[in-house]
Chain A
Amino acid sequence: MSDKIGIYVCECGPNIASKVDIPKIMEEISKLEDFKDKELIIKNHKLLCSVAGKKFLEDEINENKLTHLICAACSPRDHDTTFINVCKKTQLNPYMYRIVNIREHCAWIYHDKDVATEKAIRYIHAGMDRVMYQNPLIEKQLDSIPDVLIIGAGIAGIETALTLASDKRKVFLVEKTNIIGGNSLELKKLLPKQGISLNGLKQKISDVKENENIKVYTNTEVESIVGFLGNFEVVLKNNDKTIELLTGAIVLANGFDLFDPKEIPEYNYSEKDNVFTSLEIEKMYTKDGKIILKSGKIPESVALVHCVGRKEVGYCSKICCNYMLKIANYLKEQSSNTKVIDLYKHMCLPNKNDQMFYDSTVEKEVDFIKVTDVSLKGTKVQYIGIDEAKKDLDVDMVILAPAMIPPKDTKNLAELLKIDTDELGFYKESHMKINPISANLDGIFFVGAGRAPIGISEAMIQAQAASGKILTQLIPGQKIIPEVMVSEILEAYCTGCKTCLDVCGFGAIYFDEDKGISIVNEAICRGCGNCVGSCPSGSIRTKHFTNPQLYQEIKEALR
């Protein structure tokens, strides 16, 4: 089949037509020396992106049996997809088309019509040179597994499991301890108006156990995971047993740890004193029904110390001001005579109902003192108030609100999955603002305290959000269409230096030990091109962005 190149110049109403000389462009293009053996069809149209324009283009492609197509029009941001969609309706492979921007790059930026016209001709010529080096690319379709692996059975993992499990989708819920429920189960009460009552949580735990589409693995941890969205191979370890699974997506829900107050010398923290962490108090109140001193007595005076480790970790843990209010309430409901002094730095009450809770706590005669610094010797407290005055305070009991930090497992799991963590050690978002619970690799999500410190209702929203992502990306029975413009490594040139393996942020390259070369997994590759530039032997190319294609285009544009 001989080449037949269609070149369609859009007038964009007067936008292009009045600023460049379209007849001249068409005339010059038809006379190009290097295309004189080729069959060119050169036409103009008033508005190519209009309904009539698209129909015109479609008919032109079909009737002329075009092998290559150039649309000289506007910015690809405006109408690249428009013309790709036209190609898709015809026999022309969309990768045999190129848009050339003669509006923003030519018509709109010059006062001199001749200059704009000259540049437009050159741009179109460059596009033609490039398109001749383009190759048809075919979309692949991969089968996908709709099932989901969830690591960690706290409230976040549980909510994810319940939202996702259905007759068409199995969920595997892996928990390293022997019970499911996570840290929330340790809490005596939950903050008012926050998504779920303790009974609600217990209900959810039993719902999980009864759901036949959820398989719970307690005392189990992940040993290895390889694969990509739609196809992950998972190996779990339960004591000596290994369990192999296939899943389509992974949800990380491995929760949080608390900052160790021992790391702060000024706190002189020791388990021997009547100094407790918030979580110890929750556990004590849940288990014993009371909050007591080591001596067994009810404390007469308690100091609550906020922001423990906040400076060290570098962020505010969001939920601790709130739960300290809750603990102040515990103490007052236990004995209204207990003097409660709350030493806070900033009262962080970011949810709409928090302020009401604070106001009602103030009414219970809890003393709130804004401080800039606190140090401890056992239960002897010294603080510097906002007024810069140093004061001493002797109490029976001190309760600390340690920062919520990423557990060690977060680092291990991230390494295992080759996903990124941020500078604080939490999982890193694909985009902090607009894709906040997706990892940098497709098919991997994180929910709950893994992204950042968080309360239960937000953990549940994240669980539902990850479920929403999975429900839209992994539809049972629907195939996955991976990126087409991927990279490939030319076997003959690859020296096996493994440079590219480190460069790829998506873990798309693996090393074939037998052949001694690197290979791109086309199902994972996003075609970012990072590896191309890194390869010392020049053996990698990104389809649709090959060196010859770019060279041809640049050569003409810079002539």
Chain B
Amino acid sequence: MNTFENVLIIGSGVAGMEASLMLSKAGKKVYLVEKLSLIGGKTIKNEETFPNMDCSTCLVAPIQQEILQDQKIDVMTVSTVQKVSGKAGNFKVTINKKARYVNIAACLGCGMCYPVCPVEQSNEWEENLINKKAIYVPCSGSLPNVPVIDADKCLRLNGSEECNLCVEACMFGAIDFTEKNETIEIEVGGIIVATGFDMLDVSEIENLGYKKYPGVYTAMEFERLFAANGPTEGKLTLRETEKIPESIAIIHCVGRKEVGYCSSICCMYSSKHAQFLKHKLPEAKIYNLYSDICVSDKTYQKFQKNVAKHSSKFIYRDDKSELEITQNDNKLKVSYQNNKGIQDAVTVDMVILANATVPSNDIELLTDVLQIEKDKFGFIDTQSFRIGSVVTSKPGIFVAGCAEGAKDLQSSVLQAEAAVSQILSMK
């Protein structure tokens, strides 16, 4: 068998999806492995994307649909890569496909099963802003629109009760408790790693009050709070107080010093957040606290300037001195050193931290399995002195998107397209 005809793609964000579709068009058989129960990656967490404020769903859903309908793409959700042996042109890959306990072919996505489930657990896909059941889809609009059962939490699967509620609710007989975790062996010629990113845990940074003061949010929490399909259906009510904020401070470069690089996207999404806020809360006072503005694609500066003109007051803060957030009477005081070297402060109801983009949290497991090198930050390293920046330390394995370093959508897509060319010219 000629395994050059098969390709493994790990991660189904914009990068993984673009690579999958292109390779399938080129006649390859594609195995697309995604650890979550849905495909689409982080982009589907965003309501709109900078700078043109395209609706993310409108951008990504047609691509997701195309992938799910493509006969040459084998989409494996709730799956991870467990073992890889062999070499370029002839990798043997073991994939651990967890039981979903819902038959994808039979389920219509009607949503009758989850309201009846008695279990409540935190929904980490929604940044823990809301709960989910033991049987769930991470958010409405998930694709494939098929729930998954959390075997640890389901009363029946973890053996604590004879629960049968979801089975009774499902009119299609789609729930199948006999499903087993599977181990699948495949052979592929090349591999693309497109496992994306995670966000820096800011509770480790002192003086920011994250997790201590309910009004302090991370950027991704805010994306979900703002999203129409998110936990509040887009209502900007603050946690605990349920109050609608009248003043908001957006802090740039959070954790930049700690990680040692600029994440390159946060100035833009922080400007986007200011615009979001202005649209929904026209009366609110909005501040963006920055030290440098990094708006490096051709249309970005115009967007940011526009936000600075109409939506938010951009305030310089000296990053040589630490920023501190304290709370008093439900008001958050953000203290910083201003352009004259003087200690200054803004007092607000809500703070949004633009926290650094970091390597995905299980990257280590994957780089061990693939035996490829990481850089000093933990992103996948590229052999830049050889052919270009999608080539990893191991021949036949390529990287695309934020798995290689923080970047915006188009740069992620470009790397995917580049990785495709490398796969197609392998021999």
| Bound CA–CA A47/B424 (angstroms) | 39
Contact (Cβ within 8 A) A350 B415: no
User: A349 near B262 (CB under 8 angstroms)?
Assistant: yes
Does B298 contact A424, Cβ atoms closer than 8 Å? yes
Contact of B294 among A13, A349, A386 (CB under 8 A): A349
- The answer to whether B262 touches A436, judged by C-beta atoms less than 8 angstroms apart, is no
A211 interface residue (CB < 8 Å to B): no
Cα distance A318–B411 when bound, in Å? 14
Residues in chain A near residue B54, CB distance under 8 A: 433
Within 8 A of B (CB), among A313-361: 314-316, 318, 346-356
Does B308 sit within 8 A of A, measured CB to CB?
Answer: no
* Residues of A with C-beta under 8 A to B415: 461, 465
Give CA–CA (A453, B296) in the complex, Å. Answer: 9
Measured CB to CB, the closest approach of chain B to A313, in angstroms, equals: 9
Query: CB distance A12 to B377 under 8 Å?
Result: no
* Chain B residues positioned under 8 Å from A351 (CB to CB): 261, 264, 405
Residue of B nearest to A50 (CB): B105
> Is residue B26 contacting chain A, with contact meaning CB distance below 8 A?
yes
Considering only residues 226-248 of chain B, those with a C-beta below 8 Å from chain A are none
Residue pairs across A and B with Cβ atoms less than 8 A apart, 22 shown, are: A12-B108, A47-B108, A193-B384, A346-B293, A348-B295, A350-B264, A352-B377, A356-B261, A388-B340, A424-B299, A433-B409, A434-B63, A437-B414, A458-B414, A460-B389, A461-B389, A464-B390, A464-B421, A465-B418, A467-B418, A468-B422, A472-B25
Q: Could you say which residues of chain B place their CB within 8 Å of the CB of A196?
A: 384-385, 388
B406 CB contacts on chain A under 8 angstroms: 352
User: Which one of B49, B292, B295, B405 contacts A433 once the chains associate, using CB atoms below 8 Å?
Assistant: B49
A461 touches B414 (CB 8 A): yes
Q: Is A462 an interface residue (CB 8 A)?
A: yes
Please name all residues of chain A whose beta carbon is closer than 8 Å to the beta carbon of B296 when the two chains form the complex: 316, 318, 348, 350
- Pairwise interchain contact A471-B421, C-beta atoms closer than 8 A: yes
Chain B residues contacting A387 (CB-CB under 8 Å) are 339-341
CB-CB under 8 A from B106, the residues of chain A are 50
Chain A minimum-CB-distance residue to B423: A468
Minimum CB–CB distance from A353 to chain B (whole Å) comes to 7
Most buried by A among B106, B414, B419: B414
- Shortest CB–CB separation between residue A156 and chain B, in angstroms? 11
- A559 at interface (Cβ–Cβ under 8 A)? no
Q: A15-B108, A50-B105, A424-B298 are in contact. Are A472 and B171 (CB under 8 A)?
A: no
Contact A426–B421 (Cβ < 8 Å): no
Return chain A residues, CB-CB under 8 Å to B42: none
Partner pick for A468 among B108, B339, B384, B418, CB 8 A cutoff: B418
Bound-state CA distance A138–B300 (Å) is: 44
Chain B residues near A388 (CB-CB < 8 A)? 339-340
**B425 lies within 8 A of chain A by Cβ:** yes
The reply to whether B300 and A316 form a contact with Cβ atoms under 8 Å apart is yes
- A195 CB-CB contact with B under 8 Å: yes
Give every chain B residue within 8 A of A206 (Cβ-Cβ).
Answer: none
In the complex, are the beta carbons of B14 and A464 less than 8 A apart?
A: no
Q: Is the CB of B302 within 8 A of A315?
A: yes
Q: Are A354 and B297 interface neighbours, CB within 8 A?
A: no
Bitwise interface map of A from 455 to 496 toward B, beta carbon under 8 Å scored 1, else 0: 001101111111111011101000000000000000000000
Interchain CB contact under 8 A, A355 and B421: no
Residues of A within 8 A of B414 (CB): 436-437, 458, 461-462, 465
- Give chain A residues whose Cβ lies under 8 Å from the Cβ of B108: 12-13, 15, 47
The verdict on A82 contacting B69 (CB below 8 Å), with A159-B388, A349-B294, A468-B418 known, is: yes
Which of the listed residues B52, B302, B388 has the most CB atoms from chain A within 10 Å of its own CB? B388
A472–B424 CB distance below 8 A: yes
Interface residues of B in 291-316 (CB under 8 A from A): 292-302, 316
A355-B419 CB under 8 A given contacts A166-B425, A433-B413: no
A194 at the interface (CB under 8 A from B): yes
Enumerate chain A residues within 8 angstroms of B413, measured Cβ to Cβ: 433-436
* Cα of A316 to Cα of B418 in the assembled complex, Å: 25
Q: Is the CB of A356 within 8 A of B260?
A: yes
Residue of B nearest to A424 (CB): B298
Chain A CB within 8 A of B379 CB: yes
Contact A457 B262 (CB under 8 A): no
The answer for the CA separation of A452 and B296 in the assembled complex, in Å, is: 9
Q: Are A471 and B49 in contact (CB under 8 A)?
A: no
Q: Which residue of B lies closest to A437 (CB)?
A: B414
| Least distance between B243 CB and chain A CB atoms (Å) | 35
* A197 contacts the other chain (CB 8 A): yes
Given contacts A77-B65, A194-B384, A437-B417, contact A468 B298 (CB under 8 A): no
A355–B294 CB distance below 8 A? no
**Chain B residues with CB below 8 A from A349, complex form:** 261-262, 294
The contact string, 1 if C-beta is below 8 Å from chain B, for chain A 40-81, is: 000000010011000000000000000000000000011001
What 1/0 mask marks residues of chain A from 380 to 391 whose CB sits below 8 Å from any chain B CB?
000000111000
Closest residue of B by beta carbon distance from A78: B65
Output the nearest chain A residue to B340 by Cβ-Cβ distance: A387
| Closest 8 pairs between A and B when the two form their complex, measured CB to CB | A465-B417, A464-B418, A468-B421, A468-B420, A350-B264, A452-B298, A467-B421, A352-B405
* Residues of chain A at the chain B interface (Cβ within 8 Å): 12-15, 47, 50-51, 77-78, 81-82, 159, 163, 166, 193-197, 200, 310, 314-316, 318, 346-356, 386-388, 422, 424, 426, 429, 432-437, 451-453, 457-458, 460-469, 471-473, 475
Cα of A387 to Cα of B338 in the assembled complex, Å: 9
Does B23 have its Cβ within 8 Å of any Cβ on chain A?
yes
Residues from chain B with Cβ under 8 Å of A437 in the complex: 414, 417
Q: Which residues of A contact B384 (CB under 8 A)?
A: 193-196, 457
Cα(A463)–Cα(B425), bound, Å: 14
Contact between chains at A197 and B385 (CB < 8 Å): yes
- B118 at interface by CB-CB < 8 Å: no
A234 to chain B, nearest CB (A): 23
Give the complex CA separation of A468 and B262 in angstroms.
29
What is the CA–CA distance of A464 and B389 in the complex, to the nearest angstrom? 10
Residues of B within 8 A of A422 (CB): 298-299
- Residues on B with beta carbons closer than 8 Å to the beta carbon of A81: 69
Residue from the list A47, A347, A436 in contact with B292, Cβ < 8 A:
A347
Q: Which residues of B contact A316 (CB under 8 A)?
A: 295-296, 300-301
Distance in angstroms from B48 CB to nearest chain A CB is: 11
Known pairs A47-B108, A314-B302. 17 more at Cβ < 8 A?
Answer: A13-B171, A81-B69, A350-B294, A352-B377, A354-B261, A387-B341, A432-B299, A433-B59, A437-B414, A451-B298, A457-B384, A461-B415, A464-B422, A468-B422, A471-B26, A471-B421, A472-B424
Contacts of B301 in A (CB 8 A): 310, 314-316
Let me know if B204 is at the binding interface, CB within 8 A.
no
Q: How far is it, in angstroms, between the C-alpha of A403 and the C-alpha of B399 when the chains are bound?
A: 31
> Is B122 positioned at the interface, with any CB of A under 8 Å from its CB?
no
Contact: B262 with A200, CB < 8 Å? no
Residues of A within 8 Å of B302, CB to CB, are: 314-315
Check if B171 sits within 8 Å of A14, measured CB to CB: yes
A386 to B316, Cβ gap below 8 A? yes
Contacts of B18 in A (CB 8 A): 434
In the complex, what distance in Å separates the CA atom of A257 from the CA atom of B111?
A: 57
Known contacts: A352-B379, A353-B261. The answer to whether A315 contacts B300 by CB under 8 A is: yes
Report chain A residues within 8 Å CB of B36. none
What CA separation (Å) do A473 and B417 show in the bound complex? 12
Q: Which interface residue of A51, A82, A194, A465 has the most chain B CB atoms within 10 A?
A: A465
* Bound CA–CA A78/B144 (angstroms): 11
Asked if B22 CB lies within 8 Å of chain A CBs, one says yes
A452 to B18, CA, bound (A): 22
Q: Is the CB of B110 within 8 A of A13?
A: yes
Is B27 an interface position by the 8 A CB rule?
A: yes
Once bound together, how far apart are the Cα atoms of A349 and B377, in whole Å?
16
A433–B172 touching, CB < 8 Å: no
Q: Does B329 contact A (CB under 8 A)?
A: no
B211 → chain A, closest Cβ, in Å? 27
Asked if A195 and B421 make an inter-chain contact with CB atoms under 8 angstroms apart, the answer reads no
Shortest distance from the beta carbon of A127 to any chain B beta carbon, whole Å: 22
Contacts A195-B389, A196-B384, A433-B409; A461 near B418 (Cβ below 8 A): yes
Whether B410 sits at the interface, judged by CB under 8 Å, is yes
